[in-house]
Amino acid sequence: MLKILIADDHEVVRQGLERILQKEYPGAHIECVADGQEMLKKVIQSEWDLVISDLSMPSKTGIEALEEIRQHYPKLPVLILTMHPEEQYALRALKAGASGYLSKSIDAAELIAATRRVLMGRKYITPELAEKLSELVDGSADDLPHQLLSNREFEVLKMLARGLSLIEIGKTLSVTPTTVSTYRQRILSKMHLTNNSELTRYALLHRLID
């Protein structure tokens, strides 16, 4: 029996995905969770054929959960389905071990095509992302400053750029404001910026925030 785990913090999205997948894979066992921590717990407790995960979720982001999943089940297909555009997270997700990266704007046919491909043990990437990967391989693409950040630093960058305080960011990430301040200093140093205003301008320029 095919076993699929869906992780998304929006109930409407979970229900929609479950209906699409149940229609395509009759008899499949499908479960849904609402956050990254619960997804990780489910993966460790049971065997799955496919995981479909959002990126921005409570308690643990999709990429953080993905990195831990890879430590336990390196061959488990994990398909990222998110509202974030490819230029923000696709390369990070693939480096973390994702089998594919899809936008929530896709239709049901593309979702099914992606699930079938990753269930075969192959990667699913769009032509645009394939071109970007090709540029990285042949050295024709220069790393932008934000691409040098760790996944956690990148999350902090986006929250700082949105105007969140150190306390608010700390609560979201379950760390102290002092730890967030340390992340901020690392970000500014790596990106050769001096303050939050410059971070915000950079994030807007490179479409890292809406």
pLDDT digits (tens, 9 = 90+) for 73-96: 999 999 999 988 777 788 888 888
pLDDT digits (tens, 9 = 90+) for 33-74: 999 889 999 999 999 999 999 988 877 888 888 989 998 899
pTM of the model: 0.74
pLDDT of residue 109: 94
**Spatial distance between the Cα atoms of 125 and 81, rounded to a whole number of angstroms:** 12
**Higher pLDDT, residue 59 or 140:** 59
pLDDT of residue 77: 96
**Spatial distance between the Cα atoms of 159 and 169, rounded to a whole number of angstroms:** 7
Mean pLDDT value of segment 99-127? 92
Name residue, tokens 């990430």: 173
C-alpha to C-alpha distances, 150 to 2, 26, 71, 76, nearest whole angstrom: 34, 40, 18, 23
Pairing of strands 29-33, 3-7: parallel
Name residue, tokens 């075969």: 120
Element (H, E) at 50: strand 50-53
- Rounded to the nearest 5°, which phi and psi values hold at 67? -60, -40
pLDDT of residue 173: 86
C-alpha radius of gyration, the chain, whole number = 18
3-state secondary structure 113-182: HHHHHHHCCCCECCHHHHHHHHHHHHCCCCCCHHHHCCHHHHHHHHHHHCCCCHHHHHHHHCCCHHHHHH
